[in-house]
Structure formats: C-alpha cells, structure tokens
Structure 1
Amino acid sequence: MTKKKTMKIETPILPADLPIQPKPDLAVQDFVEMGVIQDCVFDERDVDRVTFEKVIFRNVTFADTSWSRMELTDIIFEKCDLSNADWTDAVIHRTEFRDCKMIGMQLTGATIRNVLIDNALADYASLRVSNTKQLVIQDSSLSRADFCFAKLQKTELTRCNIDRAQFSGTPLGGMDLSDCEFNGLSVNVEDLKGCIISREQAYVFAALFGLVVNE
C-alpha cells in the first residue's frame, strides 16, 4: 500500500515564553489570552461566546461543559479531558488536541480550520453538520462518531478506528480511508464516490451493501 502523504496545516502561533496563569472565572471573564492553564477543572455550564486566544491547556478537565458559540484561535490542548463537552457551533482555528479524551464531545455545527487531533479517544464524538477545512485526525479512536451531513473539505483521517461511525449525507470523495480500521460504517452509497479504500475494505463495503464477491 502506498503510504499516505500527511496534509500540511497551519500550526498554532504561540510565543515561546507563555506565563502560567490561574484558571479564569468565566462568569466574569469571556476573553482569555496569552497563558498556560494547567491541572484544573472547568465546571462552568451554559457559557456563551467565550473566546480563548494563544493559550496552552495542560491536564485540564472540561468534561460536561456546555459552551456554545465559543472561539478558539492558536490553542493547544495536551492530555485534557473533554468528554461529553458540548461546544456546539464553536469556531476553532489553528488548534491542536494532543493525547486528549474526547468521548461524546459535541462539535455539532462547528467551523473548524487548521486543526490537528492526535492520539485522541473520541468514540461517540459528534461533528454533525460541521464545516471543516484543513482538519487532520490521526492515530485516534472515533468508533461510532457522528459526521452526518458534515462538509469535510481537505479533511484527513489517518490510522483511525472509525468502526460504526456515521457519515450519512456527507460526501467522502477524495478522502483516503485506506489505513483506517472499521468493520462497518453508516454511509450512503452515493456519498462514497471517489473515496479511497484498501482492497480489504472493499469486502467490508460489499457486505455492507449486500453484495456477494465471487472469488
């Protein structure tokens, strides 16, 4: 199998000497910038339009937060827990999620540009009706994730577990899934036109659509 070329994306633009700063109180502060926030828990719920710029989060828990229409620019998340966080309609640009737990995370309707998700546990995560461009997800588990009706422009899934993921209504033309792992997907046959798969995966799709391969 020919090795896939990794798509180049813009990385977060961050100063080399960002100071450590305490966890902000989002009840009174809706704009946070220029710092490293670490080893803490955000438990604020129902926050609207909070903005983070040029921030590194290390070992921070965001689980079960509900922050709609938030904006992230030049951000790095390292070893963070975002399980079941609801960040519906977020705008995310030049951001990296590294070694994060993202089970059930909701990015429904999000606008995503130049984002890397690396080594994430993101089963049941939702990018339904999201609009992505320059998104790379690699070495991650996306079992039963929801990509339905998303607009995936220049989106790359590499060495990911996408078993039972949902792609109904999402065109996959040009997307290379050949090194991803799955035993089944929820997808419309017309959306597979131009999708790149391996020979072994072809048998999975044949079974999915009720075809019998005569060897």
Structure 2
Amino acid sequence: MEFREFGDRRSVQRPNLEAVDLEEHPGLFKGFVDLATVVVAGGDHRGIQSEGKIAYASLTDVGLSETHIQPLQLADVAMVHCDLSNARWHDVEMARAELDGCRAVGMDLEGKFDDLYAVDTRFDLMSLQRKRGRAWTVFERCSFKDAVLGGSFDQVIFRDCDLSGAEFEATSARGADVRGSRLDGVRGLMTLRGATLDADQAREVAEQLAAEAGFVVAP
C-alpha cells in the first residue's frame, strides 16, 4: 500500500494498481458498467446514461462529459486528463481514487469519498454533495470558482486551491483545512466551523464572517 502524506498524520491511500495486471479495454460505459483490471485510453462517451462499478482501472483522456451515472462504485481508479464536464454522477462511492489534470466544470457530484485525491483539476461551477466518509479527501491546486459545495467536509483538505466565489453549505467541517487556498468572495464561511485557516486568510475573510454573523460592518 502506498500513501500520500499531508502532515499531522493525515494521509490518502493511493490506488493499488501495481498489484494487478491491467489489460487494454475500449471502455464501454453505456448500460451497466462492470470494468476491472483495465487500462482505458481515449474515447468519447459524451451524454451516456449508465450505472455500475469500476475497479483497478487506469483511465486517460476519456471523454465522459454530460454523462448521467447512478449509482457508481469506483475503487482503486486513477483518472488522468479525463473530461467530466457537466456530468451528473449520483450515489457515488469512491475509495482510493485519483483525478489528475481532469476537467469537471459544471459537474453535479453526490456521494461518499474515502481516500480521494484530486490535483490540477477544474471543478468550477460544480455542485458537490459529500457524504461523511471514513478517510481523508484532498484537493490540491484545484479550481472551484463559483462552485456550490455542500454536505460533510470532515477530513477534507483544500491545498492551494482557488475557491473564489464558491458557496459552502457544509453540515460539518471537523478537521477541514483550507490553508493556502484563495477565498475571495467565498460565501457560507460560517458553515465551515472547525476548519483551519492561516492568519492571512483569517484577516482576509474577517469582514465576510462578521457580515454572515449578523454584524453591521461600518466604514
């Protein structure tokens, strides 16, 4: 087992793809999907409707924009440069999944995520509803401009992300960490009680927090 470490005993388990032999597969995502131990490279599956599970899989440059998938189980899956724009994925269960350089603008995502790591991925304008999981979720250098982010943010790290204009509707945020991320125009900060900010961020959002708490901020 390999882990990505984020300090203070926080880590994300990586997909276990080295222990299995992966075979090339055309990636048929329509209808009931049951993919395991596969490598899928390329292919445009825009707008399909399906359900199922994907395990021990490497997906690269796969087009899944505007897809409707419900329910979906992802376990030990790495997605690189995939297009998930405007996709609607509900009742999702992810475990040991990675997204690297993907495009998920306008995605509607709802589910439970354990050991999820996303890096350099665009989630602008997305709608996220996260159920409480048992392991960490980490977003690194991701963009969430004008996104709506709801549900449990316990054990979620936003590292060096752009959260400009995002709206939080968090039900809990124990252990959440947004240090190093951009918070311009973020709404719903009061719902992130328990999250860790750095000192510069605290000064930056002080006026917004005061307004959300009901204070009148006079010039």
The alpha-carbon deviation at position 125 of structure 1 amounts to 1.7
Letter in 1 for 2:197: I
Cα–Cα, structure 1 residues 81 and 192, in superposed 2: closer, same or farther, change >3 Å?
closer
Cα–Cα, structure 1 residues 113 and 173, in superposed 2: closer, same or farther, change >3 Å?
closer
Q: Identity over the aligned pairs, expressed in percent?
A: 21
Residue 202 in structure 1 maps to residue 202 in structure 2: yes
Question: What TM-score, normalized to structure 1?
Answer: 0.86
The alpha-carbon deviation at position 24 of structure 1 amounts to 1.9
**What root-mean-square deviation, in Å, do the aligned CA atoms of Structure 1 and Structure 2 show?**
2.3
Q: Show the counterpart of 1:118.
A: 119
Letter in 1 for 2:117: L
More strand by share: 2
Tell me, in whole angstroms, the C-alpha distance in 1 between the residues paired with 2:142 and 2:100. 10
Q: Secondary structure at the match of 1:35?
A: strand
The alpha-carbon deviation at position 152 of structure 1 amounts to 1.9
Contact 2:122 2:143 in 1 (8 A): yes
**Which of 60, 63, 73 is 2:62 aligned to?**
60
**Which of 20, 25, 32 is 1:21 aligned to?**
25
Q: Secondary structure at the match of 2:175?
A: coil
Q: Show the counterpart of 2:87.
A: 85
**Which of 100, 118, 121 is 1:98 aligned to?**
100
Residues 30-89 of structure 1: per-residue CA shift (max 9 Å, x gap): 311111011111135231x31111111011110000011111111010111111111111
Q: Show the counterpart of 1:8.
A: 11
Tell me, in whole angstroms, the C-alpha distance in 2 between the residues paired with 1:43 and 1:164. 28
Tell me, in whole angstroms, the C-alpha distance in 1 between the residues paired with 2:97 and 2:57. 10
Tell me, in whole angstroms, the C-alpha distance in 2 between the residues paired with 1:102 and 1:38. 18
Tell me, in whole angstroms, the C-alpha distance in 2 between the residues paired with 1:75 and 1:102. 16
Aligned positions, number: 206
Question: What TM-score, normalized to structure 2?
Answer: 0.84
**Which of 69, 72, 97 is 1:70 aligned to?**
72
Cα–Cα, structure 1 residues 169 and 67, in superposed 2: closer, same or farther, change >3 Å?
same
Q: Show the counterpart of 1:171.
A: 172
Q: Secondary structure at the match of 1:40?
A: coil
Structure 2 residues not aligned, in runs of 5+: 1-5
Q: Secondary structure at the match of 1:24?
A: coil
Residues 120-139 of structure 1: per-residue CA shift (max 9 Å, x gap): 01111222253344111101
- For 1:117-156, list aligned pairs within 5 A: 117-132=118-133, 133-148=135-150, 150-156=151-157
The alpha-carbon deviation at position 25 of structure 1 amounts to 5.5
Contact 1:143 1:162 in 2 (8 A): yes
Q: Secondary structure at the match of 2:207?
A: helix
The alpha-carbon deviation at position 21 of structure 1 amounts to 1.5
Tell me, in whole angstroms, the C-alpha distance in 2 between the residues paired with 1:72 and 1:154. 19
Contact 1:118 1:139 in 2 (8 A): yes
The alpha-carbon deviation at position 114 of structure 1 amounts to 0.7
Contact 1:107 1:130 in 2 (8 A): no
